[in-house]
Structure 1
Amino acid sequence: MSEIKQAAGTPLSASVQANVHAVNARFGSSSDLVVRLFRSDAAPERVIALLYICGLVETDTINESIIAPMMAMELPPYAEEKGDLLLESMRACVVPVSSVKDVTTLEEALQYMTDGRCLLMADGSAMALLADVSGGNQRSVGIPQTQTVIRGPQRGFVEDVQTNVSLVRRIIRSSDLHVQTHKIGEQTHSNVAVLYLNGVVDPSIVKEVYRRLADIDIDGVLESGYIEEFIQDESFTMFPTMMNTERPDTVAASLLEGRVAILVDGSPIALIAPTTFFSFFDSPEDYYQRFDIATFIRMIRYVAYVISMVFPAFYIAITTFHQEMLPTTLLISLAAQREGVPFPGLVEALLMETTFEVLREAGLRMPRAIGPAISIVGALVLGQSAVQAGIVSAGMVIVVSFTAISNFVMPEFNMAGTSRTIRFGIMIMAGLFGFLGIFLSVLFIMVHLASLRSFGVPYMSPFAPKPKKAGIWRGVFIRKPWWSIVLRPMDTNLRNPKRQGSGRRPPAQRHSRQ
């Protein structure tokens, strides 16, 4: 990772007392600032200061690898007369610490202390040492909380960016995996790591990511969603133009396809760019199981997404304008159900959809012990009660329920949220104009999708704006066998499009029975 850039600021004093006073003043005499002054037997006449932020460091490491060695250190001849030689002896004593850095300005020292490093100063030297002793209480690596893992690695990102980078490096063990860290946020100084696979990714995409990150000017970054809204191509769209994931294997697979990953300190969610519309229908498990089963499940996702967007609108259009399209038996059954319903189909659908969205949101916000129970029982009780009271028809309850279930099929939550929002607009158009309203809505959505870009990559690639070869777009809907996936996805200008050998299945070795 790249270090913090040297910045002009207040130079450190040769007096330890003055430096300690300056640090204490900048932190406002905070209670978590620990200042320890001591003297070593090797130079008893000189004061040594150790400063760190409690909770951001490993105190055991400080005691064992810094304080204890310095107490027993030996100075070279005449070192006690020069502060810089004393500082060099201190550096030799803290060799067990993984990283030791020199600083000469107060601002740089303060910034590194908030990153979990301790500050070492000695009388007579206008320079200080920063030792990396970061640690403290952090959440351990566990199962992803937002993305269910059926088959695959059972590890998810945590809130520490260095841990998350190490999880990716455990998968891609190559020196071509480059990591560059940026500081964003005037107050939080959050670490934002950019990961890419050198030799595979398009260099222009990496430069564009760096440029957009450098243009961010904000007080603080608390989650990766802050970064996403700043650097995405189009803000006024319901469709996500960047993918987010909690799984290291998903990030590794994206890097191998020539994409760029962005990790933010304090967030377990990684950002991936560029991306396309069809990338949100892929799940990591598709490539961990048989290709025929994965293809079938992927087709179900596409069908379920279309159902979650237009199924209620189709029901409204048919029951309101196009009753002649229904078989006579079904038409009579629906007419009998709606005989006592006081609302038209559009109002009935909006009422049920709004009720279900409220129940869904309530189930998410309530305590986990009772949230699922409240949402399920609430849906059953309200639905049954509404039908018995004659407020809605039984057919509408079935349509809304199946639509909601179809929405949960999507592997990416942000794309599923898009269909939840667009559904209401298509329902209103269907209630006003019937099938014509649905057709106009779908046409507007397709035109909008074709106009989107993700870091310069067409959002509907490989279909629009210029259709590519059938062999390329066929892999969008069909999960090919691994031995036939020779090329990486061609939606980005890859420097190395080939990912494996000839693309022929290895011949099976036949064993004769003894």
Structure 2
Amino acid sequence: MTGLLYKTWEELESTFEHSFGKTTDFVKVPVMFNERKCWILYYSSLVGSANLSSKLMLPFSQHAGKAESLEQFRAAALASINYMYLTDWIQIARQLNKNSVCILVEGEYEALSIEIGGYTERSISEPEIQQSIYGPKIAFTESIETNISIMRRVLRTKSLQIESYDLSSDKVTGAVLVYLDDVIAPELLQEARQRIQRMEGKKVATLNHLLEGLRDDKKANFFPTLMINERQDSCVAQLLEGRAVVFMEGSPQGIILPAVFQDFFKSPEDAYVPAAMMLFMRLLRYCAFFITLLLPGIYIGVINFNYEIIPINLAIVIAGLRSNLPFPSVIELLLVEAAFEIMREGSVRMPKVVGNALTVVGALVIGEAVVQAGVVSIVVVIIVALTGLSSYAFTYYNFAFSIRLLRFVFIGIASILGIFGVFLGCVILFAYLVNQRSFGYPYFQMNSKRSLL
């Protein structure tokens, strides 16, 4: 659109309708500014009426009749309020969507935008996904300004840098790149800037859209190469290791870049416990990784192909439990896995008050019923339960979800090739991880901190 310099006052009414449509929360108030026509523009859904009255309308009634220019009025009545002068309608639309108020005066070449605020934001709360026993109970919110404030409360240093970017084509959706300029590697910072700039002007509605744009390539990845984090202490620790964090307006999580394989085995409380305890807990997570990924496939391989590798007494017990079952072992295992995944998904959608209780009761009732009915064996129920519990050992949901999906791949390979298929799948997966990179850094490196500093 053309700038305000080329708009006559009579054309403003049609300009409003063309720029903002007929949305009912767009408010345009006609007033007089020292015998000149004036419009006050804002969204009622973003600007609180109390703030509008006290910060603008009252000073306007006292000073607008005496001011010779918009700048003179601002200096006299709005000196303590953040402001910006705008020269085109794209800038006006952008500021209005940031809970600002714009003032247009007949004969003035620029519009005055002032920050009023007043809409309700979600308060800072505890993390809901990445919970921990120790450490601060502070999670990010949907506001970029609040998230930056949360970071600055801990990192009180001039080296903490914030770079702002406009992602959407209408320059309404914003993102910020946060880093420590005396710690981050220059090549990592340059690569991060280039990838974010690559997203400018595109339709970026959710954090996942931004995540896809920041990835190294457009190929499907078995494991996430970027980390989504909702905790203040975790993001601060990553910045101190020489990484960067990206926040997007409207998302209560940050994207940590780069992220390597071993990062997903860390937990927020690792920094608050003795080294021996931290090492033990991390080893447990690695064990949980192999149990979640391989245990069902190993069971299928042993039962169908390589039963001779287990003790004879155990083989007799398993054979007795599997006698008279109606389904092959693969179908039996997949049915129980599917039932467990459905219960897991249902527990997420249920109200919190009844979700946990119904999940536990449902698992007990269904598990007992299918075993008593002779549909599945108790061994399969135990394996699926152990596998499902192991998947909860990881604090990063995307990583745990990737393991759960790959588990079905190993089940399929084991049903065809047995234990050899499980071993072959492990070799292929290892080769894949070794060849993966995250922002140029090897994905399977064992010491990410040393490589990033």
SS at the partner of 1:158?
Answer: coil
SS at the partner of 1:136?
Answer: coil
**In structure 1, how many angstroms separate the alpha carbons of the residues matched to 2:386 and 2:88?**
63
SS at the partner of 1:130?
Answer: strand
Question: Is the contact between residue 160 and residue 179 of structure 2 (CA under 8 Å) also seen in structure 1?
Answer: yes
SS at the partner of 2:372?
Answer: helix
Matched, 1:279 2:263: yes
Matched, 1:33 2:26: yes
Matched, 1:426 2:416: no
**1:443 counterpart letter in structure 2:** V
Name the residue aligned to 1:22.
15
More helix by share: 2
The alignment of Structure 1 onto Structure 2 pairs a total of residues equal to 452
Q: Which moved more, 1:247-256 or 1:369-378?
A: 369-378
Name the residue aligned to 1:237.
221
**In structure 2, how many angstroms separate the alpha carbons of the residues matched to 1:74 and 1:224?**
43
1:406: Cα distance to partner?
0.6
**In structure 2, how many angstroms separate the alpha carbons of the residues matched to 1:439 and 1:90?**
76
Matched, 1:360 2:350: no
Matched, 1:489 2:446: no
Which is bigger in relative contact order (C-alpha 8 A, separation at least 6)?
Answer: 2
Alignment of 1:369-448 (within 5 A): 369-448=353-432
Question: Is the contact between residue 29 and residue 40 of structure 2 (CA under 8 Å) also seen in structure 1?
Answer: yes
**In structure 1, how many angstroms separate the alpha carbons of the residues matched to 2:231 and 2:2?**
40
Question: Is the contact between residue 12 and residue 19 of structure 1 (CA under 8 Å) also seen in structure 2?
Answer: no
1:248: Cα distance to partner?
1.4
Question: Is the contact between residue 160 and residue 265 of structure 1 (CA under 8 Å) also seen in structure 2?
Answer: yes
SS at the partner of 1:50?
Answer: strand
SS at the partner of 2:317?
Answer: helix
Choose which of 130, 135, 151 in structure 2 pairs with 1:152: 135
Name the residue aligned to 2:36.
46
Distance 1:17 1:31, change over 3 A: farther
**In structure 1, how many angstroms separate the alpha carbons of the residues matched to 2:152 and 2:120?**
23
**In structure 2, how many angstroms separate the alpha carbons of the residues matched to 1:12 and 1:19?**
12
Q: Which moved more, 1:406-415 or 1:214-223?
A: 214-223
Choose which of 58, 61, 70 in structure 1 pairs with 2:51: 61
Q: Which moved more, 1:220-229 or 1:431-440?
A: 220-229
SS at the partner of 2:63?
Answer: coil
1:68: Cα distance to partner?
1.7
Quote the sequence identity (%). Answer: 31
Question: Is the contact between residue 292 and residue 403 of structure 2 (CA under 8 Å) also seen in structure 1?
Answer: yes
**2:450 counterpart letter in structure 1:** M
**In structure 1, how many angstroms separate the alpha carbons of the residues matched to 2:238 and 2:255?**
10
Give CA deviations for 1:389-427 in whole Å, capped at 9, x if unaligned: 212111111111111111111121111111100001111
**In structure 1, how many angstroms separate the alpha carbons of the residues matched to 2:27 and 2:77?**
19
Give CA deviations for 1:345-391 in whole Å, capped at 9, x if unaligned: 22221121112111211221233333323322222222111111212
**In structure 2, how many angstroms separate the alpha carbons of the residues matched to 1:304 and 1:410?**
9
Question: Is the contact between residue 308 and residue 406 of structure 1 (CA under 8 Å) also seen in structure 2?
Answer: yes
Question: Is the contact between residue 192 and residue 263 of structure 1 (CA under 8 Å) also seen in structure 2?
Answer: yes
Name the residue aligned to 2:167.
184
Matched, 1:103 2:55: no
Question: Is the contact between residue 129 and residue 395 of structure 2 (CA under 8 Å) also seen in structure 1?
Answer: no
**In structure 1, how many angstroms separate the alpha carbons of the residues matched to 2:432 and 2:38?**
65
Unaligned runs of 5+ in 2: none
**1:227 counterpart letter in structure 2:** L
**1:167 counterpart letter in structure 2:** I
Question: Is the contact between residue 63 and residue 77 of structure 2 (CA under 8 Å) also seen in structure 1?
Answer: no
Unaligned runs of 5+ in 1: 1-7, 81-85, 463-472, 474-487, 495-514
Alignment of 1:224-373 (within 5 A): 224-234=207-217, 235-373=219-357
1:218: Cα distance to partner?
6.4
**1:185 counterpart letter in structure 2:** S
**In structure 1, how many angstroms separate the alpha carbons of the residues matched to 2:17 and 2:79?**
28
Choose which of 49, 63, 69 in structure 2 pairs with 1:73: 63
Give CA deviations for 1:406-460 in whole Å, capped at 9, x if unaligned: 1111121111111100001111111211111011000010001011110000001
**In structure 1, how many angstroms separate the alpha carbons of the residues matched to 2:134 and 2:79?**
40
**In structure 2, how many angstroms separate the alpha carbons of the residues matched to 1:67 and 1:14?**
26
SS at the partner of 2:449?
Answer: coil
Give CA deviations for 1:62-99 in whole Å, capped at 9, x if unaligned: 222222223222888xx64xxxxx11211113435431
Q: Which moved more, 1:416-425 or 1:62-71?
A: 62-71
Question: Is the contact between residue 213 and residue 231 of structure 1 (CA under 8 Å) also seen in structure 2?
Answer: yes
SS at the partner of 2:129?
Answer: coil
SS at the partner of 1:39?
Answer: strand
Distance 1:386 1:115, change over 3 A: same
1:319: Cα distance to partner?
1.9
1:117: Cα distance to partner?
1.2
1:18: Cα distance to partner?
4.0
**1:22 counterpart letter in structure 2:** T
**1:158 counterpart letter in structure 2:** T
**2:24 counterpart letter in structure 1:** S
SS at the partner of 2:332?
Answer: helix
**In structure 2, how many angstroms separate the alpha carbons of the residues matched to 1:97 and 1:29?**
33
**In structure 1, how many angstroms separate the alpha carbons of the residues matched to 2:64 and 2:301?**
88
Question: Is the contact between residue 189 and residue 220 of structure 1 (CA under 8 Å) also seen in structure 2?
Answer: no
**1:26 counterpart letter in structure 2:** S
Name the residue aligned to 1:477.
none
**2:149 counterpart letter in structure 1:** S
Give CA deviations for 1:43-79 in whole Å, capped at 9, x if unaligned: 3x22332111112123333222222223222888xx6
1:13: Cα distance to partner?
5.6
1:253: Cα distance to partner?
0.9
1:174: Cα distance to partner?
1.1
